[in-house]
Amino acid sequence: MSRHSSALAALLLAGAAIAAGGAAQAQLLPSLPVGNLPVPLPDAVRGTPLVGELLRGLTPTERRAATVPSLDRLGVGPAVGDLGRETLAELRRLRLAELIRANPALLDVGSDGAPIRRGVLVAIDPTEAQLRAATSAGFTVETREDLGGLVSVVLKVPVRLSARAAMRRLAEVAPGLTADYDHVYEPAGGALLPGAGALLAAAAPPPMPVGKTIVMIDGGVAPHPSLAGASIVQQGFAGPAKATGHGTAVASLLVGRDGAFRGAAGGARLFVADVYGGSPAAGSASAIVRALAWASSKQPDAISISLVGPSNLLLQRAVALLARRQIRMAAAVGNDGPAAPIQYPAAYPGVTAVTAVDARDRALPEAGRAARLDYAAPGSDMAAALPGRGYAKVRGTSFATPLVAARLAATPSVQALEREVLRGKGRIGRGILCGTCRTDPKVVGAK
């Protein structure tokens, strides 16, 4: 291993060791495995593409610690901005491969290399004749849901067929049937963090305040002083809702109020759609689509979506359906750098694609590549709530997205929104929204 590779290995493992230290560190955990490096990267390893070679020399335990987001913390540290585009893309590939490897009973690999639910395909608006043909060929119906203008049928594939072989078989026996894999989506800014036990914030919400309604599609939300007076209703779409760090942080950026800490949509009623159930192997397209249908039923002023993944036919049609209903949606572009694939649902028409800026109004260098970039918002040098109590420094497009969603909910027209934008540096779309919505970590003692 080269000297440069050894230096990066030491830093990766140092970050992994901190992650293994548990909640005592009280920091949020990165979606990028090197996001919480304790020291700046040396010039010799900035931008190196040798991550794959480096990690192949680690033990399985070390490799997993360096590449898989921990369930103990979440967030992205500033050192990630020192990594080159090819290194970021390689880390993304390794992270997803390790997620699949660590969950063999739940996950498989789709044709594009992305994680998918093992043993199922999703049929979209199938005819009864097509379903009969599929069941005659050994497929069985797991669930069937009418999502209000969109029918989704999850089919269990015949035993011993891989996902790709099952897709070919389905096309043969049911010509013309629209089907896709059940892709799995990641939080666009960190791993899931179990909350205080299985508690959820505001299990019995106070009366709905006069104001706006926002839905966030994410992990569940834990109790926190900043959320004590908020109106929060939670619903699980991957089993019972379970509190997470990522969801708690995003919720606090929307409706949190606690001394100097202020969310961007204080007083709004918040509906939380938990598509993870506490598991990073959840977050499937079918769960997200059910969450979108539930969100639509709440007649929201905006939906905040801080998760990313590949294009999926079922998700694409669901998003288009909500867009036709003129429901405003904001989604993160991700944090895997400009060499990573374009991420969805941010790239779909009808969705406001969100990137992030730092305290100097500069686009974060690790922000994902976008097919279309609409707005930026603060996503670094800022505080968000930790489950239970306290605050942490956060970084990533996940944390910019709720700020943009808050402005979408509060602002009646595109023209009025455009009058709010501020200038910045780098790729920030039409400008920065909610530029004053950042809470300085020092003010609230964020760690």
Q: Which residue numbers are catalytic?
A: 218, 246, 398
Contact (Cβ atoms closer than 8 angstroms) between residue 141 and residue 155: yes
The owner of tokens 């140092």 is 14
**Six token digits for residue 287:** 């769960």
Helix (H) or strand (E) holding 251: helix 245-255
How distant, in Å, are the alpha carbons of 11, 210, 237, 271 from that of 283?
Answer: 30, 32, 9, 17
The CA radius of gyration of the chain, in Å to the nearest whole number, is 21
Helix count and strand count (H, E) for the chain: 11, 20
Helix (H) or strand (E) holding 377: strand 375-378
Contact (Cβ atoms closer than 8 angstroms) between residue 211 and residue 301: no
Helix (H) or strand (E) holding 55: helix 51-56
Helix (H) or strand (E) holding 165: helix 163-173
Q: How many CB atoms lie within 10 A of CB 259?
A: 10
Q: Is 334 left (phi over 0), alpha (psi -120 to 50) or beta?
A: left
Question: Any alpha helices (H) in 344-420, and if so which ranges?
Answer: 397-410, 414-418
